[in-house]
Amino acid sequence: MIRHCVFIRYRPTISSAEKASIHADITALMPKIEGMLAVHIGANVSPETGMDKGFADGFIVDFADAAARDRYLVDEGHQAAGSRIVAAAGGVDGVFVYDLEIAG
């Protein structure tokens, strides 16, 4: 399994409604992409103040395998949502992506 983690440092001007709309775009991909197993979205709730380096929002997508993750990456819906995320974060410096392989 691949756990695709995306952490976002949204610009301060981005509303909660805009964040929710972007997150809905990610969730909407689930029935369209074979092997996309789960989507978890939310704000950072860690008590470790400052450790998030400002990446206070994010989501995690679980994929059955790397092939499913790769289908997601090239999907036009993902690319559109990704463009929205980058714009809302003020550029790629406001987005941190980390993929973790989970042994079965």
Task: For residues 43 and 65, give the distance between their C-alpha atoms in angstroms, rounded to a whole number.
Answer: 26
Fold held by 1-59+91-104: Alpha-Beta Plaits (3.30.70)
pLDDT at 91: 98
Contacts of 24 (CB under 8 A, 6+ apart): none
pLDDT at 29: 97
Q: What integer best gives the mean pLDDT of the chain?
A: 96
pLDDT at 94: 98
Residue 58: which of 71, 73, 45 has the closest Cα? Answer: 45
Domain map of the chain by residue range? Answer: 1-59+91-104
Question: Which residue stretches of the chain have pLDDT < 70?
Answer: none
